[in-house]
Amino acid sequence: MHLPTLRQLEFLCAVADNGSFSKAAEACHVTQPTLSAAIKEIEGLLSVQLIEREARGASLTQAGEAAVERARGILSDTADLVSAAQQAGAPLTGAFRLGAIPTIAPFLLPKTLKALRAAHPSLKLYLREDQTDRLLEALRSRKLDAALIALPWEAPGVETMDLGEDEFLLVAPPGHSLTDRDNLKSSDLLDEYVLLLEDGHCLRDHALSICRLPSKRGGADVTATSLPTLVHMVAGGLGVSLLPKLAIDAGVTSGADVDLQAFETPLIGRRIGIAWRTGSPRASEAKMIGEIVRGAI
């Protein structure tokens, strides 16, 4: 009985991902005739058509969709086999795919990467910055080995380790009345226009929750796409905001015409954590990276 090779399964998944033979061949670094021949060979082995060739691309048949789902599982299990074998020999060697949310990555990773390189010189780290939902989905689909996210966050099929807390500070235009208060409370923000990141950023949700602010505060809802943009909006007098101390310590407000003020009782807006797929053979390596991140925090 002849079986499809792993390379042929990669070609099949590439066509599914790219929607065309030419783009799939480019993604796999082979010629289009080579990829087309491999797909025909799989279809011959299975005695069923998997892909419909169309003038403007390619689409999966019903049998093709079922085959691609199984192929992804096989390729993922094979990658896990390699990872488990490598980890048994020496942990944190070879490739490791680490994700991080945008409000953590630029402020925590520089220190973390330096420590990782020193402790594990054979580690080849691949980084991906994205929002939490997409990072967790990449963990579940085995496209990432671990991800740095903000806690609390619960997701099926994902485990997390708490690495430390991150305090929120008030950032306001110079001379704002709230920056002179030594007894600043979160309730003082209820009458202020609080600028936030756009929907999809977990930092927005944490800020709304910790200060018990309504998600829709009336009027034009002005939002920012990143923390540096948020700082410039505050400097421009559009409102006040909350910033994680992690970002402030890393210099996100450096050079900006803004004032900072801590709350009377430290406002712990979020906790930093590392997440990995339940059952991942690289769970112990994710925890090792987590301990290095904890040191950086």
Q: What is the DSSP string of 197-221?
A: EPTT-HHHHHHHHHTT--S--SS--
Dihedral (CA of 95, 293, 254, 128) sign = positive
> Tens digit of pLDDT for each residue in 222-259?
678 889 999 999 999 998 999 999 999 999 999 999 99
Dihedral (CA of 7, 12, 16, 21) sign = positive
Query: If you average pLDDT over every residue of the chain, what do you get?
Result: 87
Token pair in block for residue 231: 């700082």
Q: Higher model confidence: residue 276 or residue 215?
A: 276
Would the pLDDT of 141 be above 80?
yes
* Residue found by looking up tokens 């007098």 in the block: 237
Would the pLDDT of 7 be above 80?
yes
Residue ranges of domains in the chain:
6-85, 93-297
**Domain at 93-297: CATH architecture:** 3-Layer(aba) Sandwich (3.40)
Task: Enter the DSSP assignment of 49.
Answer: -
Would the pLDDT of 32 be above 70?
yes
With 0-12 / 13-18 / 19 or more C-beta atoms within 10 angstroms meaning exposed / middle / buried, residue 143 is middle
pLDDT score recorded for residue 77: 78
Domain 6-85 - what CATH class? Answer: mainly alpha
Answer for the pair 259, 58: CB distance below 8 angstroms, yes or no.
Answer: no
> Tens digit of pLDDT for each residue in 61-101?
999 999 998 888 888 778 777 766 666 556 788 889 999 99
